[in-house]
Amino acid sequence: MSTLQILVFQSMGFTPQDVDAFFHTRSLGDGKAEGQLETAQEQIGFISAMGEGNESEFILLSLKGLEETGDAMESMIGVWRSGDAAGLSE
């Protein structure tokens, strides 16, 4: 998820910490061990290599997708509220 997508989500009333904070607090309460799939440095490496050699195209593609983010989220919320499990899988 890009910083720009997070800004769109925040403008819609979402915060990026909500789900992570919920499950982190719950796992601590359940006495579960903490772990990670990759280090923060590895994540930064993955992200920085994503557009390598095609930086301009990668940025343009990201911006194009950004235009659709708000509408896609509104659609998913509507499908979720109606209980349409098949619609969520699309």
- Expressed as residue numbers, the domain containing 27 is 3-80
Rounded to an integer, what distance in angstroms lies between the CA atom of residue 21 and that of residue 13?
A: 16
Tens digits of per-residue pLDDT, 12-26? 888 767 777 888 889
Number of domain units in the chain: 1
Query: Per the domain annotation, does 64 fall within a domain?
Result: yes
Pick the closest to residue 32 from 40, 23, 41, 44 (CA basis): 23
Tens digits of per-residue pLDDT, 27-80? 999 999 888 788 888 888 887 787 778 778 877 887 887 878 888 888 988 999
Query: Per the domain annotation, does 88 fall within a domain?
Result: no
Whole-model pTM?
0.50
Query: Per the domain annotation, does 85 fall within a domain?
Result: no
Query: Per the domain annotation, does 86 fall within a domain?
Result: no
Query: Per the domain annotation, does 26 fall within a domain?
Result: yes
Query: Per the domain annotation, does 32 fall within a domain?
Result: yes
Query: Per the domain annotation, does 17 fall within a domain?
Result: yes
pLDDT, position 16: 65
Tens digits of per-residue pLDDT, 41-55? 888 888 778 777 877
Both tokens of 21, joined, read 């904070």
Query: Per the domain annotation, does 22 fall within a domain?
Result: yes
Packed helices 55-81 and 3-11: angle between N→C axes, nearest 10 degrees: 30
